[in-house]
Copies of this chain bind each other. A is one copy, B any other.
């Protein structure tokens, strides 16, 4: 884990939980959940989804004031590990699609129901589901060189993470469709202008500027923060759960389609630089 940013190189954390693919710490009133597979660009395996769900549930209940998600190494997160689609398990491909759908649904639920301010510290490129769930965060800080890419149709798939609802809400259809339908990769500054990102910082001072700010946030009245966040979320919680369900249903259909299988085979044959 030598590839982490400076924030983790600081004094030993008050508490740390043991995960295989994550680094989770709590200090200064902040629980940090760090994607920790830098050698795989923090791609999310099936086991890692389960760990993330656990980590989010735990962070929601611990005594921290805010929760932060970030990545180890150069990437924030490269999204769903496409190796999740290889190796058909016992039960066949239909069971695999259904099980993966259930897991994804629970993963997104953990964001929808998160009870405290949730802040993304996007330290590098973000792809797929790690981008789409950003619409469910309260604040998103990005380093200047970060990029945001959701190449769903290119892979024969469809949007998830509630992005089919949150992205049009945040930036309007005309901008959202270019990302969600037509695979446009946007820069941090573009994402900030679109409203997906709160603020962009120079790469050189990103970690120090952001963590200074986060530590100040964690000193604000905790109940006021949590209750205000819940008040904002309550207006669309029911809607978000319905969106999540519909997205996962559609995605299961997609995963079982010839179009998607062909697109993923092409991906492994071409090994494109995502």
**A interface residues with partner B (beta carbon < 8 Å):** 117, 134-140, 152-154, 156-159, 164-166, 168-178, 180-183, 195-199, 217, 220-225, 227-229, 231-232, 234-235, 239, 243, 246-247, 250, 253-254, 257, 259-260, 263
For the complex of A and B, 4 pairs with smallest distance between CB atoms: A172-B195, A170-B172, A138-B177, A174-B198
Taking chain A's interface residues, is the majority helix, strand, or loop, or is none over half, making it mixed? helix
Q: Which residue of B lies closest to A157 (CB)?
A: B224
Task: Report which of B178, B217, B227, B257 forms a contact with A198, defined as CB distance below 8 A.
Answer: B178
Chain B contacts of A234 at CB under 8 A? Answer: 246
Output the least CB separation between A229 and chain B (Å).
6
Task: Report which of B136, B171, B225 forms a contact with A153, defined as CB distance below 8 A.
Answer: B225
**Are the CB atoms of B217 and A182 closer together than 8 Å?**
yes
Task: Report which of B137, B153, B170, B227 forms a contact with A224, defined as CB distance below 8 A.
Answer: B153
13 contacts between A and B (CB under 8 A): A117-B182, A134-B174, A137-B173, A139-B182, A153-B224, A158-B227, A159-B228, A174-B196, A174-B198, A177-B232, A221-B260, A224-B260, A231-B246
